[in-house]
């Protein structure tokens, strides 16, 4: 959970090549949580 919090606070998060392989259920939920947290916090 600490890693997710750190990723949500990074000024610029680049998600490029790591989605070349399908995500599992847990990874999909983690990615959605990161994107939602960043969206809710708005532009920095």
**Per-residue pLDDT tens digits for 17-40:** 777 888 899 988 988 888 888 888
Cα–Cα distance between 27 and 43 in angstroms, integer? 24
pLDDT at 8 over 80: no
In-domain check, residue 44: yes
Total of domains in the chain:
1
pLDDT, position 25? 94
In-domain check, residue 14: no
In-domain check, residue 28: yes
In-domain check, residue 26: yes
CA 5 remoteness from chain centre = 9
Continuous H helices in 1-44: 2-9, 25-41
pLDDT, position 29? 92
Maximal C-alpha separation, the chain: 30
* Domain span holding position 33: 1-8+22-44
pLDDT, position 1? 62
């Amino acid at each position: 959970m600490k890693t997710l919090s750190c990723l949500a606070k990074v000024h610029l998060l680049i998600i490029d090549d790591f989605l070349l392989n399908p995500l599992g259920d847990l990874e999909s939920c983690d990615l959605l949580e990161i994107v939602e947290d960043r969206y809710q916090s708005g532009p920095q």
